[in-house]
Structure 1
Amino acid sequence: MAKRIINNYAEFEALLGEVIGVSDYVQITQEQIDKFADATMDHQWIHTDPERAAKESPFGSTIAHGYLSLSMLTYLWYNVVDVRNVKMIVNYGIESLRFQSPVKVNDRIRATVSLNDIKNLRGIARVQVKIVVDIEGEKKPAYDALVNFLYHFE
């Protein structure tokens, strides 16, 4: 899918209440899970021990850390949009986050993004997007969140 190009505040504002786009799928591998475990020092077996997880986990395999799947938000967001004419972009926060389904090793996830709110804060755009991350072939999404970014347009 082609990225949505957004050049300024007015073009963002025109998308209020609409689906901005859907990202491509990205696969979550055991290598990614292991590297995330190393980076966060969270080596719980349900993430890092495929043999034990196959035997003892209710999921039948290892699963990605919830925060690993959450950390994919920026990648998925920028797979959907190309925001131009900005001096700086700041991750401003998450209003709500709800994990709904585990992401198993080798699952493919994607995001559906809609513009939930936009405010002009003295020349800085506070953009709030609703992001629903689904897992290919699953009924329930991995998670949904209201995510805030600050765009400092030129």
Structure 2
Amino acid sequence: MDKLICKNFSEFRANEGQSLPTGNWLLVTQKMIDAFAEATLDFQWVHVDHERIKKESPFKKPIAHGFLSVSLLSKMLMDLIVVDSMTMGVNYGLNKVRFPNPVLVDSKVRLHSSIAKIEEYGKNGLKITWNCSVEIENTEKPACVAEFVSLMFE
């Protein structure tokens, strides 16, 4: 997988407005969905009740929580970028989030992203706004489209 590799924040800033490499495929398993349900206490039947899903769901398979897709953004972005001088990264928030298409269990997803904006943040930090789209393999509409904001510190 290609990565954006920068020595420091000065080098990283030069990438504002640029697209990142496309991420690798990530398999969304029932184990991940169950763990997310445990962590968030969201046991809605469309995620975890296999018998009911077979009878009532139009998808006939469990679907991942939409917020699971959002939660994967940090991991998927950090798989695509290395800033050697960075000591810490922190999630800052989301400006826009949509879930155009559900992620069925055992689907593969990958990230398409760009660096929309880079701003100074305090003495040793940057605030980065990322445009993110989580593609589902063999599916026209993405799982998640989000404007994700994070902080990086040197």
TM-score (norm 1): 0.93
Match of 2:135 in 1: 134
- Deviation per CA, 1:66-121, whole angstroms, max 9, x where unpaired? 11121111111111111221222211111111111100000100001101001123
| Alignment match, 1:150 | 151
Gaps of 5+ in 1: none
- Shifted more, 44-53 versus 109-118: the winner is 44-53
Is contact 2:19-2:114 (8 Å) kept?
yes
- Give me the whole-angstrom Cα distance separating, in 1, the residues matched to 2:41 and 2:120: 39
Query: Partner residue of 2:113?
Result: 113
Output the CA distance in 2 between the equivalents of 1:52 and 1:118: 46
Identity of aligned residues (%): 38
Paired residues for 1:38-57 under 5 Å: 38-57=38-57
- Distance in 1, matches of 2:115 and 2:11, equals 11
Q: Which amino acid aligns with 2:136?
A: I
Q: Which runs of 4+ in 1 moved over 4 A?
A: none
Distance 1:102 1:92 in 2: 25
- Shift of the alpha carbon at 1:122? 4.0
Corresponding residue number in structure 1 for 2:4: 4
**Letter paired with 1:141:** P
- In structure 1, distance between residues paired with 2:72 and 2:90: 16
More displaced stretch, 132-141 vs 77-86: 77-86
Q: Within 5 Å, which residues of 2 pair with 1:13-28?
A: 13-28=13-28
1:86 maps to 2:71: no
Distance 2:20 2:8 in 1: 15
1:34 to partner: Cα distance: 1.1
Letter in structure 2 aligned against 1:92: Y
Q: Mapping of 1:63-82 within 5 angstroms?
A: 63-82=63-82
Query: What is residue 100 of structure 1 aligned with on the other side?
Result: 100
Which amino acid in the other structure matches residue 144 of structure 1? V
- SS of residue paired to 1:47: helix
* Distance (whole Å) between structure 2 residues aligned to residue 150 and residue 135 of structure 1: 27
Residues paired across the two proteins, number: 153
